[in-house]
Amino acid sequence: MRYLTGFSGSSGIALITRRQKFFFTDSRYRLQAKSQVKGCQIRIVPGAPLEGCARYAVSRRLKLGVLGYEAGRVTHQQFLLLRRILKGVKLKDAGGSVEKLRLVKSRSEQMNIRRACRIADAALARLRRRRTIGTSEKETAWFLESEMRKAGSGRLPFEIIVASGPRSAMPHGAATKRIIKEGELLVIDMGASVNGYCSDITRTFATGPLPGRLDQIYQIVREAQQLALGRVVPGLPGSEPDRLARDHIKGAGYGREFGHSLGHGVGLEPHEGPSLAASSADRLEAGMVVTVEPGIYLEGSGGVRIEDTVLVGSHGPVLLTSFPRRLIQLR
């Protein structure tokens, strides 16, 4: 909805026919719709916009033959409502059609993502100058969140992951009250947003010298990422960078400790197409923005993930997040 109409509020319905574009919302969003929605006839309806939209279509005889809706976004209750009001209209799942349009980012979309990346980079740089050992994961997460918000980020696209010590072996360990100790791994995964567009970056830090094996897995993940980045080029399938990173990690003996896929698209949502995975059917095109995020997770001792947001440039990958990728020690 935001992509097609510009509306960023939470209550609205876009209805697009061959000839007309409508936007339905309730009176709370009248002014916001007026200032944000472009190229649509705005209709303020009492109650739920979906019902208002369906009733409008019937009363104005829009002659809908087939109505595409987003099955992944419409609840079953809403579907029943549509079926009840729109008698004789064929309802068809059109999910994924707008997502396809969103795969390749325009200049201005790229600019927003770039800015969101810079905000995340800057917050990590500030973390380096601060004492982390002895603070809790939650305090660290809040520090990063407040730095990003002060630097102009909108709502964070997802809750910041701060996972220290053995907890870093959880790929998505939400921050807890655990106090960060000396000589362990610390995984931080976060992003900012600018005009709705997200960034996504993960860095794994050390808090002092590490046991040899943890140091070793860091180097393996870093090499895997470097190899994969070299294949983020237009024309290649999304499975190709995943294969390279996975083969490298497997070859080092940690294939089973890299359970998730290599990466995903980034845009208005922190996770969208294309997919960088073994099973991906997507093909990379110039203007797509993806993450490259291999990891190794050792239960009981710790994990490493390195993630960057990358633009598929016409001549190859352009890293949009630029915080150093070598292992950095926090104090």
Q: How far is CA 138 from CA 162, 179, 217, in A?
A: 7, 9, 26
Q: How far is the CB of 161 from Zn ion (least distance, A)?
A: 7
| Residue placing its CB nearer to Zn ion in the complex, 54 or 124 | 124
d(CA 231, CA 234): 9
Task: Name the DSSP letter for residue 176.
Answer: -
- Binding of Zn ion by 189 (CB under 5 A): yes
| Residue placing its CB nearer to Zn ion in the complex, 147 or 200 | 200
| Residue placing its CB nearer to Zn ion in the complex, 99 or 307 | 307
Q: CA-CA-CA-CA torsion for 31, 34, 40, 41, nearest 10 degrees?
A: 70
Spatial CB neighbours of 88, under 8 Å, sequence gap ≥ 6: none
Q: How far is the CB of 21 from Zn ion (least distance, A)?
A: 33
Q: Helix, strand, or coil here: 313?
A: strand
Q: How far is the CB of 264 from Zn ion (least distance, A)?
A: 6
- Binding of Zn ion by 291 (CB under 5 A): yes
- Binding of Zn ion by 121 (CB under 5 A): no
Stretch that binds Zn ion, among 126-134, 142-150, 246-254, 285-293 (CB under 5 A): 285-293
| Residue placing its CB nearer to Zn ion in the complex, 202 or 280 | 202
Residue pair 272/90 in contact (Cβ under 8 Å)? The answer is no
Stretch that binds Zn ion, among 62-70, 140-148, 185-193, 234-242 (CB under 5 A): 185-193
| Residue placing its CB nearer to Zn ion in the complex, 5 or 110 | 110
Residues 240-269 that bind Zn ion (CB under 5 A): none
Q: How far is the CB of 277 from Zn ion (least distance, A)?
A: 12
Count of residues making up the chain:
331
Q: How far is the CB of 65 from Zn ion (least distance, A)?
A: 40
Stretch that binds Zn ion, among 65-73, 131-139, 184-192, 281-289 (CB under 5 A): 184-192
Stretch that binds Zn ion, among 130-138, 167-175, 274-282, 307-315 (CB under 5 A): 307-315
Spatial CB neighbours of 182, under 8 Å, sequence gap ≥ 6: 133, 207, 208
C-beta atoms surrounding 267 within 10 Å:
23
Residue pair 134/179 in contact (Cβ under 8 Å)? The answer is yes
Q: How far is the CB of 172 from Zn ion (least distance, A)?
A: 9
- Binding of Zn ion by 147 (CB under 5 A): no
Give Rg (Cα) of the chain: 23
Give, for 330, the enclosing helix (H) or strand (E): none
Residue pair 194/152 in contact (Cβ under 8 Å)? The answer is yes
Q: How far is the CB of 40 from Zn ion (least distance, A)?
A: 32
Size of the site for Zn ion (CB under 5 A): 5
d(CA 95, CA 82): 16
Q: How far is the CB of 301 from Zn ion (least distance, A)?
A: 22
β 21-25/41-44 pair status? parallel
| Residue placing its CB nearer to Zn ion in the complex, 203 or 231 | 203
Spell out, one character per residue from 191 to 210, where the chain touches Zn ion: x when CB under 5 A holds, - when not.
---------x-x--------
Q: How far is the CB of 313 from Zn ion (least distance, A)?
A: 19
| Residue placing its CB nearer to Zn ion in the complex, 25 or 280 | 280
d(CA 329, CA 321): 19
Residue pair 195/111 in contact (Cβ under 8 Å)? The answer is no
- Give the interface with Zn ion as residue ranges (CB under 5 A): 189, 200, 202, 291, 307
